[in-house]
Amino acid sequence: MNIILLGPPGAGKGTQARKLVDERNMVQLSTGDMLREARRNGTEMGKKAGEIMDRGDLVPDEVVIGIIREQLENDNAGGGYIFDGFPRTLAQADALGRLLLDMGENLDAVIEMQVDDDVLVDRITARATCKDCGEVYNDNTKPIPADGKCTNCGSTKIERRPDDNEDSLRTRLMAYYKQTSPLVGYYYAKDDLKSVNGLASMDDVAASIAKVLG
């Protein structure tokens, strides 16, 4: 099964993707994580992408389509793929459709995580992530442990993302509405769209997704 998680920054795509990986043996493909990794590795592409990401703008289509293509060619996901943060533009959506077709694979569902804009700002400015395992913390709902150690992996590298500030977030939200939200109509027209309420608790959102996936 191959699925896309669609929704604005802070909708909870990464959190739900991690649950699906644990529970269904799926492979998470997060273009955001891949770009951050390229940046840490100091590649030319990573450096350029890093500047764009800090502003909150979208990295060019060719770049992200290229990194997704590479992953799909190299990986073998028995349980299927979860596309998290990709596609983000119509051109990326078309490219993904072609890549899956070439592999003889289908897209089984596009899960739109619906949230209110005003909670996004709160969620993102309160967010911190474990650099080693990706566990997500939130100052209000799941604070970083007092000893600073990740509850999942014990790492002390729990950090805030440079783009998780109010200015970049406004730009990211604008990019979402201008460039990504047309995908809701695109996948609705293809009859692939399933919407879930992303404002519910983490477990309730996971339950709605499980119901949709059957």
127 is catalytic: yes
Which conformational region is residue 5 in: left (phi greater than 0), alpha (psi within -120 to 50 degrees), or beta?
beta
172 is catalytic: yes
Q: Which residue is nearest to ligand ADP (CB)?
A: 32
Strands 3-6 and 109-114: parallel
Q: How far apart are CA 136 and CA 39, in angstroms?
A: 20
Per-residue contact track with ligand ADP, 39 to 58, x per CB under 6 A? -------------xx--xxx
User: Does residue 18 touch ligand ADP according to CB under 6 A?
Assistant: no
- Residue 87 preceded by cis peptide, ω within 30: yes
Residue 165: which of Zn ion, ligand ADP, none does it interact with, CB under 5 to 8 A by kind?
Answer: none
Catalytic option among 13, 18, 39, 194: 13
Residue 59: which of Zn ion, ligand ADP, none does it interact with, CB under 5 to 8 A by kind?
Answer: ligand ADP
Crossing angle of helices 166-175 and 44-55, in 10° steps, is: 100
Per-residue contact track with ligand ADP, 170 to 209, x per CB under 6 A? --x-------------------------------------
* Residue from 99, 126, 133, 212 binding Zn ion (CB under 5 A): 133
Which conformational region is residue 148 in: left (phi greater than 0), alpha (psi within -120 to 50 degrees), or beta?
left
Distance of CA 38 to the CA centre of its chain: 16
Give the residues lining the site for Zn ion (CB under 5 A): 130, 132-133, 135, 150, 152-153, 155
